[in-house]
């Protein structure tokens, strides 16, 4: 399919991944953290689709656009094989997000053995109503041991960042992501 365009295709005419393909890798991950609501409660769900128990850490942080942490919650989790577990977030976090939905976001993280498996952000307002600020994004390309790394930084929260290259065929390890902590 051509890109950028809204369609069901996850790769373009040349076989390059589109935003859906990057997101699909996340929502089809063997162990995944997702968010949902039940009434006013904000709930974190960890789904383990592997044949082994998953032991790790789930954390959330309520942040403003400048990455200041206003409230946080962190818990060790153990999810048996082929099952999922819900964690209801503290009421103060749910209320803070509900009262300030236009200017706060929730950063959620899943870790195992000190390695971040997933980090993303969620806004609880309609995107058109959220008070995004200029993230002042900068990027620096560096080479290290024959591999190239693109360091991206922002001074403010940035949702759904997509990297494009002109005159180069590049398949990044990740694309179409949120900058929830500045780098």
Residue 2 pLDDT level (bands cut at 50, 70, 90): low
Residue 1 pLDDT level (bands cut at 50, 70, 90): low
What DSSP string runs through 12-69?
-TTS-B-HHHHHHHHHT-SEEEEEEEETTEEEEEEEE-SSS-EEEEEEEEEEETT--E
Among candidate residues 63, 74, 88, the one with its CA nearest the CA of residue 180: 63
CA pseudo-torsion sign 89, 90, 93, 98: positive
Q: What's the pLDDT score for residue 3?
A: 60
Alpha-carbon distance 8 to 25, whole Å?
15
For the chain, what is the mean pLDDT? 94
Model confidence over 86-145: pLDDT tens digits?
A: 999 999 999 999 999 999 999 999 999 999 999 999 999 999 999 999 999 999 999 999
Q: Would you call 140 helix, strand, or coil by DSSP? A: strand
The continuous run of DSSP H or E covering 113 comes out as: none
The continuous run of DSSP H or E covering 155 comes out as: none
Q: What's the pLDDT score for residue 7?
A: 79
Least confident of 3-17, 21-35, 62-76, 83-97: 3-17
**Separation in Å, CA 60 to CA 32, 97, 110, 163, 175:** 14, 12, 9, 26, 22
Model confidence over 25-40: pLDDT tens digits?
A: 888 999 999 999 999 9
């Amino acid at each position: 399919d051509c890109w950028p365009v809204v369609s069901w295709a996850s790769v373009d005419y040349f076989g390059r991944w589109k935003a859906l393909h990057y997101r699909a890798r996340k929502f089809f991950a063997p162990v995944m953290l997702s968010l949902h609501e039940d009434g006013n409660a904000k709930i974190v769900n960890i789904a383990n689709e592997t044949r082994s128990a998953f032991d790790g850490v789930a954390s959330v942080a309520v942040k403003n656009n400048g990455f200041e942490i206003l409230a946080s919650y962190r818990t060790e989790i153990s999810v048996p094989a082929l099952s999922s577990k819900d964690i209801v977030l503290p009421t103060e976090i749910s209320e803070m997000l509900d009262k300030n939905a236009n200017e706060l976001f929730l950063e959620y993280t899943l870790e195992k053995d000190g390695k971040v498996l997933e980090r993303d952000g969620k806004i609880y307002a309609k995107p058109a109503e959220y008070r995004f600020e200029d993230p002042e994004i900068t990027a620096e390309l560096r080479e290290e041991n024959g591999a190239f790394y693109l360091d991206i930084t922002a001074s403010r929260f940035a949702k759904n960042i997509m990297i494009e290259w002109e005159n180069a065929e590049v398949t990044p390890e990740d694309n179409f992501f949120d900058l929830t902590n500045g780098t």
